[in-house]
Amino acid sequence: MIAPSILSADFARLADELAAVPTSDWIHVDVMDNHFVPNLTLGLPVVKSLLKVTDIPIDCHLMIDDPDRWAIGYAEAGAYNVTVHAEAANDPVKLAKDLKAAGSKAGLSIKPGTPLEPYVEVLKHYDTLLVMSVEPGFGGQKFMVDVLEKVRQVRHLVDTGHLKLLVEIDGGINADTIEQAAQAGVDCFVAGSAVYDAADPGKAVEALRAQAARAQAAGTT
């Protein structure tokens, strides 16, 4: 699965930028509040507008304080998947249940320096684990290969039946890094500049998907 990140898109042409990637599996929307991360992007009103102009499922990544209070609004608006940060959620188990009750899938994200182990039991209530492969807050950062060990850990837990969720990765994903991530066990790849800096964003999505599929196939033979 490929989820283009509109953080790298032209904010003045968001409807057109979504239309430029018609075969995307998800559209990844980074919501930043200038508190949890040192950057400010967009919020619920923009997400509601995006939902009106695309049929591609919207994947909201909330890099915000107090997601227990704010996340439900994105689910109620119609976002397909709403991801909150483990480091910010006060009651992540209740929040997962509330997100699902409001109509979305529930995702939990962990920063590069956050270990997986304390959240294994919590993740039994979630549909998605988003592993950050850069420090959250800004696009265009260099991929942190060390986080792939966490991907391998959670892939093993999924494959052995201990968890049932989709493994997503966000940060520095491009033609040079997607194969490593695919071989480690990622299901969904968030790609920003690798898609929207390309001459043809739609073709970039197809190329990244094909590259990931080849890497995964090679890893199972």
Q: Does the annotation flag 103 for ligand binding?
A: no
Question: Of 50, 65, 64, which is closest to residue 16 (Cα–Cα)?
Answer: 50
Q: Does the annotation flag 113 for ligand binding?
A: no
Residue owning tokens 């992007």 = 41
The C-alpha atoms of residue 194 and residue 4 are separated, in whole angstroms, by 9
φ, ψ at 8 (rounded to 5°): -95, 0
Q: Does the annotation flag 140 for ligand binding?
A: yes
Q: How far is CA 203 from the centre of its chain?
A: 20
Q: Does the annotation flag 5 for ligand binding?
A: yes
Q: Does the annotation flag 28 for ligand binding?
A: yes
30 included as an active-site residue? yes
Q: Does the annotation flag 138 for ligand binding?
A: yes
Q: Does the annotation flag 172 for ligand binding?
A: yes
The C-alpha atoms of residue 116 and residue 47 are separated, in whole angstroms, by 29
Q: Point out the catalytic residue in the list 30, 33, 59, 187.
A: 30
Q: Does the annotation flag 91 for ligand binding?
A: no
The C-alpha atoms of residue 164 and residue 154 are separated, in whole angstroms, by 10
Q: Do 193 and 139 meet the contact criterion of CB atoms below 8 Å apart? A: yes
Residues whose CB falls within 8 Å of the CB of residue 62, separated by 6 or more in sequence, listed in order: 31, 70, 71, 74, 82, 83, 84, 85
Q: Does the annotation flag 170 for ligand binding?
A: yes
The C-alpha atoms of residue 212 and residue 209 are separated, in whole angstroms, by 5
Q: Point out the catalytic residue in the list 33, 127, 170, 187.
A: 170
- Rg over alpha carbons for the chain, rounded to the nearest Å, is 16
Return the active site residues. 30, 170
- Binding-site residue set: 5, 28, 30, 61, 137-140, 170-172, 192-193
- Binding-site residue set for substrate: 5, 61, 137-140, 170-172, 192-193
- Binding-site residue set for a divalent metal cation: 28, 30, 61, 170
